[in-house]
Structure 1
Amino acid sequence: MAAGAPRIFVSHLSGVAVFDPTGDQVGRVRDLVVMLRVGRRSPRLLGLVVELTTRRRVFLPMTRVTGIESGQVITTGVLNVRRFEQRPTERLVFGDLLDRRVRLVETDEEVTVLDLSVQQLPARRDWEVDRVFVRRGKGGAFRRSKGETTLVEWSAVTGFSLEEQAQGAESLLATFEQLRPADLANVLHHLSAKRRAEVAAALDDDRLADVLEELPEDDQIEILGKLQEERAADVLEAMDPDDAADLLAELPEEEKERLLSLMQPADAADMRRLMAYEEKTAGGLMTTEPIVLRPDATVADALARIRNPDLSPSLAAQVYVCRPPDETPTGKYLGTVHFQRLLRDPPYTLVSSLLDDDLQPLTPDAALPVVAGFFATYDMVAAPVVDEAGSLLGAVTVDDVLDHMLPDDWRETEFHLDDEGGAHGT
């Protein structure tokens, strides 16, 4: 970009695709790296943190960026794939600078940083931060406030070099609000422990629960330990029961019991029941909240339950027909009705007439290899777990089987898709 290049706001770069000169996508922008300078000089924009299709995060120097236009970044094609590591003199724009409380030099008024803009210097390949978009008064990007927003020169504010003790997270979350939970979990994992806690505190309970389920165990424990106990209990209740039970099982006994005592009695009972099973058995893997219907329910009833957007695809793949009571442990388990079968029959058809009752359900003590073999043999994505009395205890889903069969550090393992869509580890 030459002299007179347009100003680019960093919020518009979040998640932008990065392409090589041939038009092949190499990754997406996840952050910007700047170096603060003494006095009121504008920071240099050193480069971009790019997440490759392998999920590895690498550093792309701005000297190798040939263009930023139409929602994309074009590179020279030369990319060092060494994993990015932040140096002490560097600051991450999304991770360290957004949502900071700084002061206007002229009035000494405290303001919140909502965004920054960058611009290429005339006749050079250097870039720098030139403006700061701030809000007067308290509040971030999603918080309603009467504070006025304004765009000021970098030199008009002070306070970026100070360690922020209570940095907000609203503007950072705004840049990542469209990410899937697994991708947002990856963002959190790469933040500092301090920033990770701030972002977790800003997420609502359901969103945080979804993200926690995708994080490595150490991150889960760290984040949960920094929440107020009442909120930690609420987040655990919002998690899938099997994931929440796995997390609780890793906590010290005293802390675990304290959190259980703060949960709703029914949820706490589910947690205790799940923790009573060995971890790598059907009982330890199952969720206690599958779709349960009575024999007199219709196809229309089943489809209405499956439409619930909060259900995972694997749980929505089938319904389980049982005698009352409907909550697990249920009355006598009668059989399973698969989603495809529901689509082939009239809405008024009773689910009891569509049962797949040929397959033997899993027992709660079935070991992980037995469970995996069941899924592989019968091409299932979910399977019922039934006790000796014939009551449905829950359902195991294929994603939970994979979670426990992969290495403990699988979330750190890089993967990529080949030209035919196959995934490979590296």
Structure 2
Amino acid sequence: MAAGAPRIFVSHLQGVAVFDPAGDQVGRVRDLVVMLRVGQRPPRLLGLVVELATRRRIFLPMTRVTAIQSGQIITTGVLNVRRFEQRPTERLVFGELLDRRVTLTETGEEVTVLDLSVHQLPARREWEIDRVFVRKGRKGGAFRRAKGEALTVEWTAVTGFSLEEQGQGAENLLATFEQLRPADLANVLHHLSAKRRAEVAAALDDDRLADVLEELPEDDQIEILGKLKEERAADVLEAMDPDDAADLLGELPTDEQERLLSLMQPGDAADMRRLMSYEDRTAGGLMTTEPIVLRPDATVADALARVRNRDLSPALAAQVYVCRPPDETPTGKYLGTVHFQRLLREPPPSLVSSIVDTDLQPLDPEAELPAIAGFFATYDMVAAPVVDEAGSLLGAVTVDDVLDHMLPEDWREQEFHLDEEVATDGS
């Protein structure tokens, strides 16, 4: 949904059909999942509860929703068909927020919630509830006709929804630190007790927990993963960058590795096994299996659209790799690289195959860390392709992963302790 698009009342989403990118219906919307926040801040819309044809209810993150239009919802990517389980910090809109009695802040009058509207924040992929449709007078069911004046007010004009400022529950802690970067939230978790750390990890959504795990020391990662239910642990591993997830899996006992791999989507599990087959400090062990791959007949406009993906790290977005089909790693024959700056200088209709850089030699998957670091330093690279003997692109190594493995093993813990000392000194 484009920035500036009109708000959508949730009553219009009840039972709406959900379609995949090919146009096939995958299910219908049965509820919306939101996260309440401290004070009067509008809640975040996390995703949708979608009922499949099999009656199984799954969670569809809003980051996978590409359009809400004409009574239908379009998704992108592969759906996770595991059964939806509500987290402690989550609220169901139809199940828990509608038909609820709240109070108008200005008058102190109790009203009944009949509907809520959601909108997408400008230039961001986040959605919020912004307005509340209420009815004064006696309580009436959601969407029912009842006596009393009906009006639409801003979220901040009512009380009775939001989290209280007091309390030590995990949801209050999460709300307080919601705006922190993953590395900063990892710092917070690192200094919590094991019990509190487990409570907060259980309350985080999968994507947020995955981002935070990538920033934690190895011991904390293993501890947190071990306290999650196995199905959820597998979901979180799938949400992590493949190389980071493979590193974490590699630290677990073999039988636990196999149990978690068996619970993953087959494609994700195959990526994990492939990455774990390489030595840790080699290009194969450091690479991610999800670089931007384009066919030779793709245009510069196609490439720029892929680069704009907000989920990509700056290093992965710095260049695209042109390969013959198949497009997923390991690909068909690797043809070369196109750098982001070159894309900006070319007409959008131009084919990427006409501007591909073939001079730069790719990394061998068995190349060791010193050679990789020398390659990055010599050619001023932030990412580099990894290609096997058959000429297939296996993945890409990014500079952050090189630095991560060149620093001392306990560098994350040293950074956390340094932050603690600075805070103590008041500097």
Superposition TM-score, scaled by structure 2 size: 0.59
| 2:338 partner letter | V
Q: In structure 1, what is the Cα distance between the partners aligned to 2:235 and 2:310?
A: 20
Instruction: Give CA deviations for 1:28-58 in whole Å, capped at 9, x if unaligned.
Output: xxxxxxxxxxxxxxxxxxxxxxxxxxxxxxx
Q: Cα gap change, 1:228/1:374 in structure 2, threshold over 3 Å: closer, same or farther?
A: same
Instruction: Give CA deviations for 1:51-70 in whole Å, capped at 9, x if unaligned.
Output: xxxxxxxxxxxxxxxxxxxx
Residue 412 of structure 1, CA deviation: 2.0
Counterpart residue number, 2:274: 273
Matched position secondary structure for 2:331: coil
| 1:227 partner letter | L
Q: Cα gap change, 1:147/1:175 in structure 2, threshold over 3 Å: closer, same or farther?
A: closer
Q: In structure 2, what is the Cα distance between the partners aligned to 1:192 and 1:151?
A: 21
| 1:329 partner letter | P
Structure 1 stretches of 4+ moved >3 Å? 145-152, 414-417
Residue 150 of structure 1, CA deviation: 7.7
Superposition TM-score, scaled by structure 1 size: 0.59
Q: In structure 2, what is the Cα distance between the partners aligned to 1:206 and 1:384?
A: 26
Return 5+ residue gaps in structure 1 as ranges: 1-10, 13-98, 100-144, 153-159, 161-166, 418-426
| 2:177 partner letter | F
Counterpart residue number, 1:183: 184
Q: In structure 1, what is the Cα distance between the partners aligned to 2:183 and 2:344?
A: 30
Q: Cα gap change, 1:322/1:149 in structure 2, threshold over 3 Å: closer, same or farther?
A: closer
Matched position secondary structure for 1:231: helix
Q: In structure 2, what is the Cα distance between the partners aligned to 1:356 and 1:148?
A: 54
Residue 146 of structure 1, CA deviation: 6.5
Q: Cα gap change, 1:249/1:211 in structure 2, threshold over 3 Å: closer, same or farther?
A: same
Counterpart residue number, 1:197: 198
Q: Cα gap change, 1:241/1:414 in structure 2, threshold over 3 Å: closer, same or farther?
A: closer
Matched position secondary structure for 1:331: coil
Q: Cα gap change, 1:353/1:190 in structure 2, threshold over 3 Å: closer, same or farther?
A: same
Q: In structure 2, what is the Cα distance between the partners aligned to 1:151 and 1:365?
A: 53
Q: Cα gap change, 1:395/1:147 in structure 2, threshold over 3 Å: closer, same or farther?
A: closer
Q: Cα gap change, 1:147/1:386 in structure 2, threshold over 3 Å: closer, same or farther?
A: closer
Q: Cα gap change, 1:400/1:149 in structure 2, threshold over 3 Å: closer, same or farther?
A: closer
| 2:278 partner letter | Y
Q: In structure 1, what is the Cα distance between the partners aligned to 2:295 and 2:163?
A: 56
- Tell me, yes or no, if structure 1 residue 316 matches structure 2 residue 317: yes
Counterpart residue number, 1:387: 388
Q: Cα gap change, 1:146/1:368 in structure 2, threshold over 3 Å: closer, same or farther?
A: same
Counterpart residue number, 1:364: 365
Counterpart residue number, 2:170: 169
| 1:252 partner letter | P
Matched position secondary structure for 2:390: coil
Q: Cα gap change, 1:168/1:298 in structure 2, threshold over 3 Å: closer, same or farther?
A: same
Instruction: Give CA deviations for 1:180-233 in whole Å, capped at 9, x if unaligned.
Output: 101110111011110011111111000000000000000000000000000000
Counterpart residue number, 2:296: 295
Q: In structure 1, what is the Cα distance between the partners aligned to 2:161 and 2:325?
A: 56
Kept in 1: contact 2:362–2:386 (CA 8 A): yes
Q: Cα gap change, 1:332/1:169 in structure 2, threshold over 3 Å: closer, same or farther?
A: same
Q: In structure 2, what is the Cα distance between the partners aligned to 1:358 and 1:368?
A: 22
Counterpart residue number, 1:207: 208
Return 5+ residue gaps in structure 2 as ranges: 1-37, 40-88, 90-158, 420-427
> Alignment identity in percent?
85
Residue 356 of structure 1, CA deviation: 1.0
Instruction: Give CA deviations for 1:314-353 in whole Å, capped at 9, x if unaligned.
Output: 0000000000000000000000000000000110010001
- Tell me, yes or no, if structure 1 residue 224 matches structure 2 residue 225: yes
